[in-house]
Amino acid sequence: MTEGDAAADPVRADYTGPGAWLGVTGRVAASRRTRPRAWSRACAAACCSLLASGALAAPDSAPGAAIAAFSGMVAGGSTAPWEPVSLSRRKRPTQYDLVDDAGTVVLHADADNAASVLAVATDIDLRATPIVEWRWKVAALIADADPRLAAREDSPARLVLEFDGDKSKLPLLQRGIYELSQRIAGRELPYATLIYFWANREPVGTVIASPRTRRVQMVVASSGSRGVGTWQSLSRDVVADFRRAFGEQPGRLRAVGVFTDTDNTGGHAEAWYGDVRFRRAPR
């Protein structure tokens, strides 16, 4: 969808990734300087994009310090309290199912020109448990994916973290979009989003700003074809990564999601996710 499409059809403005509800901000600012009426339409499109995403977790989910483990669920059963989050009415959702993997229940994701998130509400103080640990496995890389280009920004596996923060520090335009969308949606939207993802070639640890908004920062957790088809056990210091990405301390962690998507490249991807845990830093 082009900028003109979004402004002309705000109700159907696409949401293009976790936290990307601010992805239109730069384009909105430009339109405001030159086209007052286009600015009004673009603002409406921005707010619709915000409402399309919301927080990763459903508004009626009860937050808690512990994250429900896939391994404690039943293969073929419900993923609750993890819930699917649609990114746009125009996008086909990724299929998420619980499956048995060598005696352990894990989450299987299958995206065929698709994009959606599976997420759970949290309320975690990362000062106490800054280390995140998880496992994932992918069937293959997405050959044409490029995290720096919006039109090719797909990944076979991502771990999405959404945070509270002091929105009063944000630029005036971003604060206005937050406030308006909250009044319409009736719930607070995330201050910042940190995404760990599997990249094609960028080195592990590389921080890349989303091509749509700097309120979403992405950190390479796995890279390249080495390890494809096998389980990868990963650990990251979320507080350190957040400071590198955003230049400040993180607020409380409000939602965790997994995200396999191929909507931009139009291909197919499969991934498997194990349990996600937070723990204390080693002494």
Q: What are phi and psi of 195, to 5 degrees?
A: -120, 125
Q: How high is the mean pLDDT of the chain?
A: 80
Please report, for the chain, the start and end positions of each structural domain, with discontinuous segments joined by +.
70-167+188-279
pLDDT given at position 229: 97
pLDDT of residue 82: 97
Q: Which of 205, 201, 223, 103 is nearest to 157 (CA)?
A: 223
> Per DSSP, what are the bridge partners of residue 233?
135
Percent of the chain having pLDDT more than 70?
A: 74
pLDDT tens per residue, range 77-106? 999 999 999 888 889 999 999 999 999 999
Q: How far is CA 147 from the centre of its chain?
A: 13
Distance CA 176, CA 47 (A): 10
pLDDT for 186 equals: 60
Residue, of 43 and 127, whose pLDDT is higher: 127
CATH number 2.60.120.260 is the correct assignment for the domain at 70-167+188-279: yes
Q: How far apart are CA 215 and CA 173, in angstroms?
A: 13
Do residues 24 and 45 make contact, with C-beta atoms less than 8 angstroms apart?
yes
DSSP string of 253-279, one letter each residue: EEEEEEEEE-TTTT-EEEEEEEEEEEE
Which tens digit of pLDDT belongs to each residue from 219-266? Answer: 999 999 999 999 999 999 999 999 999 999 999 999 999 999 999 999
**141-158 residue pLDDT tens:** 999 999 999 999 999 999
| Per-residue confidence band for 51, with pLDDT thresholds at 50, 70 and 90 | very low
Alpha helices in 23-143 (DSSP H): 25-34, 36-53
